Amino acid sequence: MGSLINKRVLLGVTGGIAAYKSADLVRRLRDTGAEVRVIMTRSATEFITPLTLQAVSGHPVHQQLLDTGPGLKHAGAGAEAAGMGHIELARWADAVLVAPASANFLARLAQGRADDLLSAVCLATEAPVAVAPAMNQQMWNNTATQSNLATIKKNAIRIFGPGEGSQACGEVGPGRMLEPVELVTLASELFATGELDGLTVLVTAGPTWEAIDPVRGLTNRSSGKMGYAVAQAAAESGARVILVSGPTSLPDPERVRSLHVESAQEMYDAVHQHAAKADIFIGVAAVADYRPARAAERKIKKTEIKLTLELERNPDILASVAALRPAPFMVGFAAETENLEQNARAKLESKKLDLVAANRVGADIGFAADENSLLLVGREDITELPTQSKTKLARALIHHIAARYHAKNDTKVHRLQRP
Ligand code: PMT
């Protein structure tokens, strides 16, 4: 099962009596660790007030397609949500869940309409979209509704439910919205792609620390965010994940075995304890190429005008794993300030890799930032992943790796779906 921790769930509420359950749904989604924003259609506000959903979600509710307020990136905490346009909301979401989804909304979704905020966001988002239908049983069974559902399914939108039982209108049959607790479980499964089911993925992340003396060292600006996101995305895809991390201030990712090291040599040793059983190796760590030849046992005193530090080469972890026989599917990262493609291709060849994920690094990009972009250079193709949060980028990268891994190993029957 996937996890909703730190996931951004956009909840759409349409007009139906089941809208009264939406407040409970928001609360339960938040209890599992999701951040929730709410869009209400005009008719939804006849059943439950925006104020209620604002109170339980902690954010103003979105209602208007054309909003003149400030955008997400430019406004303060409270105002920001109110001012998010449909494209910003569509990009913000990791998943869109429409619950309850009325018969009218399903018809509009099937037609690809974009004449209100919720339908426009469903059309504009790259995130997975799911709907939880809720309506009278006759309306549910009507051939028009069933044909709309068939179209919606064809468009890769997931349908949660409905349940059967007695309805608010007094009739009995299919059309009840699933209970919030069931919807939360189904929503978390949107993040469990199963693409790496049964495989072991070994990931390195963060910087290394090369001691000069007991209090000083050589390191770099890697925060570990990219590597931790990759480990998390691999776990979401069903893999057993071992993360070997240099020093960072991040919490260990969920359902990942995390091993903490300091130096490149320690990272090398930890990696080689697990590399033989890895199916895929992803080197995201910014490993120091050099270390002080000798680390002083005591703090170096300020006595000389000049101090020379002698450096020696660290082992190349990535190349050493690629040299194993059999080697795992090898993915290296390349941090470059220029000639991205050329340098990535050189690393692909020299380190004998299957794929290089190249990113531009500089004063304000790559290291430590929350967003990144990648150029994926493989032996046969090049793919560009545009700037987005490291969480989303990692999911797209894992999706790409899974497809290449299964193609190389001729592993068939896999659900290769959009992350
Ligand atoms: O941690 P963040 O703040 O989120 O930043 C992410 C990042 C910029 C660190 C990440 O996206 C990234 O680019 N990681 C690779 C950084 C790097 O060291 O690149 P490189 O071009 O120097 O190394 C190429 C590859 O060899 C990398 O996969 C690296 O892990 C590996 N390597 C390098 C040296 C070494 N001694 N052993 C290695 O395994």
For residue 305, pLDDT over 60 is answered with yes
* Predicted local distance difference test score (pLDDT) of residue 69: 52
For residue 419, pLDDT over 50 is answered with no
Report which protein residue has its CA nearest ligand 1's atom 18: 286
Mean pLDDT value across residues 49-62 = 96
For residue 239, pLDDT over 90 is answered with yes
Whole-number Å distance, alpha carbon 335 to ligand 1 midpoint, is: 6
SS3 135: coil
* Predicted local distance difference test score (pLDDT) of residue 413: 47
For residue 94, pLDDT over 80 is answered with yes
Which among 43, 185, 19 is positioned nearest to 98, based on CA atoms?
Answer: 19
Retrieve residue 72's tokens: 């997400």
**58 DSSP assignment:** T
Mean pLDDT value across residues 394-407 = 95
pLDDT band per the 50, 70, 90 thresholds, residue 74: very low
* Predicted local distance difference test score (pLDDT) of residue 191: 84
Mean pLDDT of the chain: 91
> Is 169 known to be catalytic?
yes
Distances (CA, A) of 214 to 62, 209, 249, 311, 328: 54, 11, 20, 17, 36
- Matching fold, domains 8-191 and 200-296+305-417: yes
Inter-residue long-range contacts of 306-312, CB under 8 Å, 24+ positions, other chains counted: 309/212
Whole-number Å distance, alpha carbon 62 to ligand 1 midpoint, is: 40
Worst-scoring range by mean pLDDT, 76-90, 270-284, 300-314?
76-90
Beta carbons of 122 and 98 less than 8 angstroms apart: yes
* Predicted local distance difference test score (pLDDT) of residue 418: 43
Note the pLDDT tens digit of each residue in 134-179: 999 999 999 999 999 999 999 889 999 999 888 777 888 889 999 9
**% of the chain residues with pLDDT over 90:** 76
Which among 112, 66, 98 is positioned nearest to 85, based on CA atoms?
Answer: 66
SS3 349: helix
**396 DSSP assignment:** H
* Predicted local distance difference test score (pLDDT) of residue 84: 64
pLDDT band per the 50, 70, 90 thresholds, residue 70: very low
Query: Which CATH number does 200-296+305-417 carry?
Result: 3.40.50.10300
- Domain 8-191 in CATH 3.40.50.10790: no
| H or E segment to which residue 401 belongs | helix 390-409
Whole-number Å distance, alpha carbon 205 to ligand 1 midpoint, is: 8
* Predicted local distance difference test score (pLDDT) of residue 316: 98
* Predicted local distance difference test score (pLDDT) of residue 136: 92
Q: Which candidate in 79, 169, 181, 276 is catalytic? A: 169
Note the pLDDT tens digit of each residue in 348-378: 999 999 999 999 888 777 888 999 999 999 9
* Predicted local distance difference test score (pLDDT) of residue 388: 86
- Of 215 and 173, the structure prediction assigns the larger pLDDT to 215
* Predicted local distance difference test score (pLDDT) of residue 340: 94
Q: Which amino acid is at 276?
A: A
First to last CA, the chain: 14
Q: Where are the domains of the chain?
A: 8-191, 200-296+305-417
Mean pLDDT value across residues 402-414 = 80
Which among 17, 23, 84, 83 is positioned nearest to 44, based on CA atoms?
Answer: 17
Beta carbons of 43 and 14 less than 8 angstroms apart: yes
* Predicted local distance difference test score (pLDDT) of residue 67: 63
Work out the widest C-alpha separation in the chain, in whole angstroms.
90
Please state, in angstroms and rounded to a whole number, the distance separating the CA atoms of residues 181 and 187: 10
Note the pLDDT tens digit of each residue in 218-237: 999 999 999 999 999 999 89
Distances (CA, A) of 388 to 1, 281, 394: 25, 23, 10
Best of 243, 314, 333, 350 for a ligand 1 pocket test (most atoms within 8 Å of beta carbon): 333
Please state, in angstroms and rounded to a whole number, the distance separating the CA atoms of residues 33 and 241: 21
Instruction: With both helix axes pointing from N to C terminus, report the angle between 117-124 and 103-111 in degrees, rounded to the nearest 10.
Output: 40
Closest approach atom of ligand 1 to CA 369: 3
* Predicted local distance difference test score (pLDDT) of residue 412: 45
* Predicted local distance difference test score (pLDDT) of residue 76: 34
For residue 82, pLDDT over 70 is answered with no
Closest approach atom of ligand 1 to CA 361: 8
Best of 223, 243, 284, 392 for a ligand 1 pocket test (most atoms within 8 Å of beta carbon): 284
Whole-number Å distance, alpha carbon 232 to ligand 1 midpoint, is: 18
- CB within 6 Å of ligand 1 — which residues? 204, 206, 222-227, 264, 283-287, 289, 314, 316-318, 332-335, 347, 359, 361, 366-368
Q: Return the top range by mean pLDDT from 101-115, 164-178, 354-368, 398-412.
A: 101-115
pLDDT band per the 50, 70, 90 thresholds, residue 267: very high
Residue 390, classified by CB atoms within 10 Å of its CB into exposed (0-12), middle (13-18) or buried (19+), is: buried
Closest approach atom of ligand 1 to CA 320: 39
DSSP 200-246: EEEEEESB--EESSSS-EE-----SHHHHHHHHHHHHTT-EEEEEE-
Whole-number Å distance, alpha carbon 33 to ligand 1 midpoint, is: 30
- Of 110 and 305, the structure prediction assigns the larger pLDDT to 110
Whole-number Å distance, alpha carbon 333 to ligand 1 midpoint, is: 5
